[in-house]
Amino acid sequence: MKQIKMALACTKCGSRNYTIVANPNRENRLELKKYCKHCGKNELHRETR
């Protein structure tokens, strides 16, 4: 199974701060609370495709 790079984008400002390697056949998008350097605090980051 091939894994591809995906980005995690901040839900507040939209900047793509993190990259992950994941299986593209997953049905749900990953959501994590991570630090956003543009907002200056921990925000929810959602997987983009």
Per-domain residue ranges of the chain? 4-48
Confirm if 12 and 6 have CB atoms less than 8 A apart: no
Total-model pTM: 0.81
CATH superfamily, domain 4-48, is Ribosomal protein L33 (2.20.28.120)
CA 38/CA 18 separation, integer angstroms:
12
Q: pLDDT grade, residue 31 (50/70/90)?
A: very high
Residue 10: name the closest of 29, 24, 33, 49 by CA. Answer: 33
Say if residues 42 and 33 touch (Cβ distance below 8 Å): yes
Residue 37 host element (H or E):
none
Mean per-residue pLDDT, 11-26: 91
